[in-house]
Amino acid sequence: MGRRPCCSKEGLNRGAWTAIEDKILVSYIKTHGEGKWRDVPQRAGLKRCGKSCRLRWLNYLRPDIKRGNISHEEEELIIRLHKLLGNRWSLIAGRLPGRTDNEIKNYWNTTLGKKIGPGSMQEDQTENQTRQGLVALDQNSTQQRNTDSTVVRTKAIRCTKMVFPRVSCAQLNEIDNQVHESDYKQGNGDLVAVGSDHDSEEIRGCVEANSNSELSFDEQILFDQEVLMGDWMPLDLKALTSLLDFGEDWFNWT
């Protein structure tokens, strides 16, 4: 059975959105909220497909979109996050408030990709391949990397994050304080656990208590982007940069 198209596409407008269309969509979403995108065109009276409406809203019309050039700090963060996460633009965008995945993807493809150079792009590809098969890390490299760190892999538990960088206790405490401080300042109540493997049982208990569900453990996995950048509220730029400063050596595998 073939794929059902998201809409008939017949008699629909395509290409750039007009100011009037934008106005209609914004007005509709203000009244009815986001979601049910398939129904939006008909209800709002737009000759667009639902997917197109969703994209237009998310990438352009949302009130919290940040306009203007990417700052130097943002650029640095994008580069570092890309090193960690590869082409997972939505995750990267999630760490840059007001920026969209499309914007960051475009920025990478048009600006940063060139700045960093083809050598790094190749490196990126290799890293992506590694991440895509992250469970299948080859044994040698696993042994090499796995001297004193363990990452606990969680189920998809909302707002839970654990990072186990290989750093000194003093550094660890500092990270922990910064992350917690920053996170709770935002009042989102997320659990952000940073520790070394000897903390894992304690953290596990804490996570389970907070999430009311059991965690599955995958020992020996040194890097798991689902844990590192899971479904949690973003830290502010400063806190994330601090975390990366501490963690980057550990994250660098080569």
Partner DNA sequence: AATGTCGTCAACCGCCAAGTA
Partner DNA sequence: ATACTTGGCGGTTGACGACAT
Q: Which residues bind DNA (CB under 7 A)?
A: 1, 3-4, 6, 9, 13-17, 35-38, 48-52, 54-56, 58-60, 87-91, 101-103, 105-107, 109-111, 114, 156
CB-nearer residue toward DNA: 229 or 240 = 229
What's the min distance (Å) between Cβ of 75 and DNA?
Answer: 12
Find the shortest distance in angstroms from Cβ 50 to DNA.
Answer: 6
CB atoms < 10 A from the CB of 14, how many?
9
3-state secondary structure of 62: coil
What would the two tokens of residue 56 be?
């237009």
In the bound state with DNA, the residue whose beta carbon lies nearer, of 112 and 206, is 112
In the complex, what is the shortest distance from the CB of residue 52 to DNA, in angstroms, rounded to a whole number? 3
- d(CA 19, CA 5) in angstroms, rounded, equals 27
- Report the nearest approach of DNA to the CB of residue 236 (Å): 20
Which one, 54 or 166, has the nearer CB to DNA? Answer: 54
User: Of 50 and 250, which CB lies nearer to DNA in the complex structure?
Assistant: 50
CA-based nearest residue to 53, from 64, 43, 68, 65: 43
Exposure string for 91-128, b = 16+ CB within 10 A, e = fewer: bbbbbbeebbbebbeebbeeebeeebeeebeeebeebe
